[in-house]
Amino acid sequence: MKYLKILSVSLVIGIIFSITTAFIKASTTVNETVTVEDLVMDSIRKEKLKIYKERKLALQEALELYFHKAISAGDIVGAGVSIVQGDSIVISDGFGKRSIKENAKVDGETVFRLGSLSKGFGGVLATSLQADGSLSFDDEIVRYLPDFKFGDVNNTQKIKIEHILSHTSGTPYHSFTNLVEAGISVAKIANRFKEVTPISAPGLQYSYQNAMFSLGQEVMRKATGKDVKTLLTNTFFKPLNMSHISMDHSDLLKEENIALPHRRSGKSWQTTPLTDKYYNAVLAGGINASSLDMAKWMRFLLGHNPDVLEPVVMKQAFEPFITLGNNNKYYQRWEGHVKSSYGFGWRIHEYMRTADTTETVWHHGGSVNNYRNEIAIYPDADLGICVLINGNSKLARNVIPDLRAIVEKEFQVKEVVGIAEKG
């Protein structure tokens, strides 16, 4: 018996030695040295990748079920969805149809109008320009727009870039949005604020804007000598290979793969025309993009493209500048809501995750031309979710927490994301 045990152990050792020797000999022919530890680690990586793919499939199936239910209920016509975890684009896909009148499906490259999701690009662009010395958030607006007037001279001199990008300039709610929608240039709108009476001193009160926010692009033009389209393209869109993005009406009309806008008509949906509103105010609401473009954008915002912009540079866009009052907004009704603030082109929320921990969310909604969109970045979870809808649907109010819950249930696999396939 003792002899048999010794023989068995010797046999096992011999097999391991033979396999290892053979593998090393084979590897040596290509100038590689492979250890048993390498073999073990390779096996672990393969197992993790297998788990990643299985959970990705489970997530895809759960999303299909969620959006199929919404489509069957008549809540939406179509949606483009992107989910990013770490530096991996997990989902960049579409659900439903581009048009209620046709059978063409939404996919990851279908283009939507972003509406106010565009403001997030403006805030991050400002941090990049501040980093290269072109401007500072603390600069007064009159430094770049000397003819700008809002209130008396003292008030005008106090208004800074940080105020117009945080909706705290003291402008009444949606001042001159009508001028933006009429297609008047931002340069001309800037000179009309002398007609408006401030509701507060700069920096004290949040009041959402399109016209005042879009003054940021005119400031950037004066600071750099380049228009905002050029700045966005050269700073972000080209380096990140956001190949379906555009910023004007004519380019949108050239797109073959586009989700048409819809409005409710009784219990059904009807397509509506593609308008040219807001392309004069790109930073307020004039960007078009696909869900794949938005996936690349979110991966960048999570800090995984430091060669384009260091995370520490863009950090200021996501720092609370003004606390938002509790006005029963849809995002304030999400479970666990604690408080909300506004940074620069971004809302910053805190939600309870457990009894004694909170989670930060960088978020914005967008609505234009009967499109309705949502984006949310969870920096602590290294997670991004974006949903683009080709109709002003009530689904948008809760789609972010709904998808967050689905991701958590089906795909919370931090240990495998690092070796997952890259998007």
pLDDT at 411: 84
Query: Per mean pLDDT, which range of 14-28, 112-126, 203-217 is the poorest?
Result: 14-28
> Looking at residues 93-117, what average pLDDT do you find?
97
pLDDT at 96: 98
Over 60: is that where the pLDDT of 218 sits? yes
In the numeric block, which tokens belong to residue 170?
């003291």
Query: Per mean pLDDT, which range of 16-25, 94-103, 239-248, 324-333 is the poorest?
Result: 16-25
Residue with tokens 């940021």: 216
pLDDT band for position 40 (cuts 50, 70, 90): low
pLDDT at 194: 96
pLDDT at 421: 43
39 or 193, greater pLDDT: 193
Determine the angle formed by the axes of helices 36-72 and 399-411, rounding to 10 degrees: 150
For the CA atoms of the chain, what is the radius of gyration?
Answer: 26
Query: Are the C-beta atoms of residues 114 and 289 closer than 8 Å to each other?
Result: yes
pLDDT digits (tens, 9 = 90+) for 152-182: 999 999 999 999 999 999 999 999 999 999 9
Full-model pTM = 0.88
pLDDT band for position 332 (cuts 50, 70, 90): very high
Least Cα distance to 401 among 359, 339, 345 occurs for 359
Give the count of alpha carbons within 13 A of 214, CB side only.
Answer: 34
What is the pLDDT of the chain when averaged over all its residues? Answer: 90
Could you please state the CATH topology (level 3) that the domain comprising 41-110+244-275+284-417 is classified under.
Answer: Beta-lactamase (3.40.710)
Q: Amino acid identity, residue 42?
A: D
Over 70: is that where the pLDDT of 6 sits? no
Question: Which strands sit side by side in the sheet containing 371-378, from one edge to the other?
Answer: 88-96, 78-85, 383-389, 371-378, 358-368, 347-352, 337-342, 322-323
43 or 91, greater pLDDT: 91
In the numeric block, which tokens belong to residue 30?
């290509």
pLDDT band for position 16 (cuts 50, 70, 90): very low
pLDDT digits (tens, 9 = 90+) for 265-320: 888 999 999 999 999 999 999 999 999 999 999 999 999 999 999 999 999 999 99
pLDDT at 46: 75
Over 70: is that where the pLDDT of 413 sits? no
pLDDT at 412: 67
Domain extent listing, the chain? 41-110+244-275+284-417
Over 80: is that where the pLDDT of 187 sits? yes
Distance CA(409)–CA(100), nearest Å, equals 32
pLDDT band for position 32 (cuts 50, 70, 90): low
Over 80: is that where the pLDDT of 18 sits? no
pLDDT at 17: 47
Would you tell me how many other CB atoms lie within 10 Å of the CB of residue 320? 18
Q: Amino acid identity, residue 143?
A: R
pLDDT at 35: 81
Over 70: is that where the pLDDT of 233 sits? yes
Q: Where are the beta strands (DSSP E) in 210-342?
A: 262-265, 268-271, 288-290, 322-323, 337-342
pLDDT digits (tens, 9 = 90+) for 76-88: 999 999 999 999 9
